[in-house]
Structure 1
Amino acid sequence: MVGLEYPVSLFLKGTPSRMIAWQSRLSAKIDQLSDSLIDFRRNLHRNPEVSGEEFQTSLTLYQLLGDMGLAVRMGPDGRGVLADLDTFEENGSPAIALRGDIDALPIHDCKDVAYCSQKEGVMHACGHDAHATVVLGAAQALQQMARSGELPWPIRARFIFQPAEEICTGARDMIKAGALEEVSAILATHMEPGLPFGKVGFRKGELTASCEEIQIKIHGSSGHGARPYEANDPIAAAAQLINTLYLALPRVTQTHEAVVASFGQIHGGASPNVIPETVELGGTLRTLLPQTRQDTIRHIHRIAEGIAMATQTEIEVKFELGTDAVRNDSNLIDLLKENCVEMLGMPSIYDIPRASMGGEDFAFYLDQVPGAMVRLGCASPGAENWPMLHSTRFDIDERVLALGANLLARSMVAAFEPGSRWHEQLLTPRTTSHHDSPPD
């Protein structure tokens, strides 16, 4: 929708005069890459692949990263890519990882732009094409500086291009494939159409909610629609259950705790004049705190048991965890914020007041190592009614690609500065991971 009309360096109005040589060189590298980053993102946008089918996207990244001279590995089943850059002369330093996701959504692209999706009913409506491009830009700039000897000190970086974020399986698959081996911290970005370009959202602690599927099956007895008294109607039970949950859950949850239960699927019956035998419901439960999650699950079971007794039906309730809450590490948020201020000045900082109730499988990496995700403003400044995430018209101000790549690359280099607080906090070799084993 919006191209890069000016180099990112022109937008760094708040940059302190003390900007040192490596930072200036890095910004210059990113500026030179800006047009190619836009081209790459637009190519991904034209050719989206839904979760589980990211084969061509992965192959394209694999070839491009390999041609750059990085050590490259393909993810499980030919989906996802891992790439490494290590400029240490001796082994021993852990790596810092940058993660970008690559899958698209089953949504029709309604934008009138040259790079509109060419796949019917598939679209990058959540910015994953941009997330991948941001990480690619950071990798390209860092690799160029490494080859030309312009890095101020050695670094060890891992670039993770992850499939299947939207169905919450990709992060776990990449972890099992070794994405976090010898990694001590991980960083990521997410597009934020609620903020204009030039603003970056930061939050310590919970950034997104845990999200899990609710699967409910209601067993009744079938009958004629004219004689409902001869049946145990599972549709009537489903209606009562949904209505009761929507009314009751807010009344049993402390007012300062966030809980969202929503149902998006109801399946039951084949004829308008036949009361069916069974009805199936599908929904999601989103919470921020583990105790709130446990309490809410208990309340849902209790309410279902009461409705089953009142309607003389059987109600099965199952929960399937999609992803835990993303909980940002305070030290890593400080690292990213400090580098953001050096790039853009204090006016760029937006302190996110409350966690989103959306889910993000970035949380699975955080079960293993400290990490942080920031939200990059991607709406054109002054634009009204900018399309939000998962909209059929979602798009970005493409200047955000270079900005995000610069922020991640700068933060990566800064973390490895010998003697810095970041080096001590993040890169002290560990004998064990954040947790002992990857998630099942």
Structure 2
Amino acid sequence: MGYTCGNNAATYPSEPLPLWEGSSAPMPAWQQTLDAIVADATPDLVALRRRLHANPEPSGAELQTSLALYQALDQPGLALRMGPDGCGVLADNRSAAPGLPRIAFRGDIDALLIHEANDVPYRSTREGVMHACGHDAHAAIATHVALALHKLEASGAAPWPLRWRAILQPAEETAAGARSLIAAGALDGVSSIFALHVDPPRPTGEIGLCVGPFTANCNDVTIIVRGRGGHGARPHESRDPIAAAAQLVSSLYQFIPRTTDSFDSVVLSFGRIAGGQNANVIPEEVELDGTLRTLDDAVLAQTIEQIHQIARGVEEITATQIEVRVDGGIPSVRNDAAANRILEEAAETTPGVIARVIPRPSMGGEDFACYLDHVPGAMFRLGIAAGDGVIRPLHTPTFNVNEAALPLGVKILARAVILACEPAAGA
């Protein structure tokens, strides 16, 4: 069955309905073997996640992280490649028949510039750097999916020939890593791709699935307001860019929501305003940096034009010059229906897992979308809440993962890869 998550919340109940709660059918032998492999490797899986968590590296500097993952995957029968500049790892199974397309799965590996506040044995050892988005979990899960698939093939228990590629990707947080690896050949010979993202509010044992928009289009907005500087005691002699910037932000926050259809999701936020160096000096210019999030390309184009229109109006009333730049950004993750059905089946056959429909897409960004510009695929949300009533949000100093979720992520993602490799009927 197919499910769609869109931007019209009226089509969904207030609470998503459970799709499955286990399966009564006997588990095939290959799934039993796979689960036994994952159970045996769970201590190593947890240890790898903790090692990565204790030694985080920010986007573009994941050299030791990449080396650790390369070493973890250094097994006979696996072909390994480092990513550009030594960041990231690609792993293929050598047993795959030549010429047949591979099924890829991605785990991102970079950390954030956040100082960890958790008091745990594996807390970050690097001042001001922390795995606050779960990429340590993603990387450990993807690595152990590759190891589990390799062991399943080596045991002779794989149900049919497998052909897969593990992508351990750097620089997701700066939206540069996916495109870098794609340019380096990460999708060469790949027919589809899967991924997961941890979800702090979702209970461990539950995953979220949907077809269609999963995350938002994310665009960086830079605005430069140029005026004429002057003495703070005589503002009438200047063209104050700070006053113009304040008017601009206020107008954008007021009028963008009022000119957007209430059924269309648009978020515009500014996180940085910089201008001036002295309290009594009106500066020459002010720079604003923000983010624009949308779910629809037409709405994006319309919103960009509205930003320019409002900027022109503020220019006129403040006698300043306003330059607006909106970058190409990262597109929305849009889950393919066929790939999502595979994830549904993978979840249905994983003991201890409940899958629910995601009623609305996240307004967060995810450069997994760049892979989906080239091949179909799908991402799911993995619940990691510990059941103690405390939510540890992404991108905060207290973020943490309930490690009981890690083997569930491995089982679901490995099942999806295997199911995607199943030969077509009559082939």
TM-score tier after normalising by the smaller chain length: over 0.9
- Tell me if the contact between 1:68 and 1:143 (Cα under 8 Å) persists in the aligned partners: no
Q: In structure 2, what is the equivalent of residue 128 of structure 1?
A: 135
- Tell me if the contact between 1:198 and 1:344 (Cα under 8 Å) persists in the aligned partners: no
Which digits, 9 at most, give the CA deviation of each residue in 1:44-71, with x for residues without a partner?
0000000010000111111221235410
Distance 1:75 1:250 in 2: 42
- Match for residue 271 of structure 1 among 251, 270, 278: 278
- Match for residue 145 of structure 1 among 138, 141, 152: 152
State the one-letter code of the partner of 1:310.
I
Distance 2:58 2:148 in 1: 29
C-alpha displacement at 1:251, in angstroms? 0.9
Q: In structure 2, what is the equivalent of residue 28 of structure 1?
A: 36
Q: In structure 1, what is the equivalent of residue 161 of structure 2?
A: 154
Distance 1:344 1:249 in 2: 46
Q: Secondary structure at the match of 1:321?
A: coil
Q: Secondary structure at the match of 1:305?
A: helix
Q: Secondary structure at the match of 1:239?
A: helix
State the one-letter code of the partner of 2:420.
A
Aligned residues, how many? Answer: 408
Distance 2:75 2:338 in 1: 34
C-alpha displacement at 1:145, in angstroms? 1.3
Q: In structure 2, what is the equivalent of residue 320 of structure 1?
A: 327
Which digits, 9 at most, give the CA deviation of each residue in 1:203-240, with x for residues without a partner?
11000001111001010001111111110000000000
Is 1:289 the counterpart of 2:303? The answer is no
- Tell me if the contact between 1:260 and 1:287 (Cα under 8 Å) persists in the aligned partners: yes
C-alpha displacement at 1:13, in angstroms? 7.6
- Tell me if the contact between 1:241 and 1:303 (Cα under 8 Å) persists in the aligned partners: yes
State the one-letter code of the partner of 2:48.
F
- Match for residue 385 of structure 1 among 365, 370, 390: 390
Which digits, 9 at most, give the CA deviation of each residue in 1:320-354, with x for residues without a partner?
13311000001111110111011147x71111110
Report % sequence identity. 51
Q: In structure 1, what is the equivalent of residue 3 of structure 2?
A: none
Which digits, 9 at most, give the CA deviation of each residue in 1:271-307, with x for residues without a partner?
1111110000000000000000000000000100110
Distance 1:71 1:242 in 2: 52
- Tell me if the contact between 1:86 and 1:157 (Cα under 8 Å) persists in the aligned partners: no
Q: 1:205 to 1:328 in 2, by over 3 A?
A: same
Q: In structure 2, what is the equivalent of residue 350 of structure 1?
A: 356
- Match for residue 165 of structure 1 among 166, 172, 189: 172
Q: Which runs of 4+ in 1 moved over 4 A?
A: none
State the one-letter code of the partner of 2:308.
H
Distance 1:366 1:17 in 2: 33
Q: In structure 1, what is the equivalent of residue 370 of structure 2?
A: 364
Q: In structure 2, what is the equivalent of residue 429 of structure 1?
A: none
Q: Residues 49-88 of structure 1: matches in 2 within 5 Å?
A: 49-67=57-75, 69-88=77-96
Q: Secondary structure at the match of 2:362?
A: coil
- Match for residue 403 of structure 1 among 395, 401, 408: 408
- Tell me if the contact between 1:267 and 1:280 (Cα under 8 Å) persists in the aligned partners: yes
Distance 1:325 1:255 in 2: 19
Q: Secondary structure at the match of 2:269?
A: strand
Q: In structure 1, what is the equivalent of residue 51 of structure 2?
A: 43
Q: In structure 1, what is the equivalent of residue 17 of structure 2?
A: none
Q: 1:13 to 1:278 in 2, by over 3 A?
A: closer
Unaligned runs of at least 5 residues, structure 2: 1-19
- Tell me if the contact between 1:86 and 1:155 (Cα under 8 Å) persists in the aligned partners: no
Distance 2:356 2:200 in 1: 13
Instruction: Report the TM-score when normalising by structure 1.
Output: 0.91
Q: Residues 9-24 of structure 1: matches in 2 within 5 Å?
A: 14-24=22-32
Distance 2:340 2:126 in 1: 37
Q: In structure 1, what is the equivalent of residue 6 of structure 2?
A: none
- Tell me if the contact between 1:249 and 1:299 (Cα under 8 Å) persists in the aligned partners: yes
Q: Secondary structure at the match of 1:67?
A: coil
- Which is worse superposed, 232-241 or 392-401? 392-401
The CA RMSD measured in Å over matched residues stands at: 1.5
Unaligned runs of at least 5 residues, structure 1: 1-11, 425-440
- Tell me if the contact between 2:21 and 2:348 (Cα under 8 Å) persists in the aligned partners: no
Is 1:240 the counterpart of 2:247? The answer is yes
C-alpha displacement at 1:401, in angstroms? 1.1
Q: In structure 2, what is the equivalent of residue 427 of structure 1?
A: none
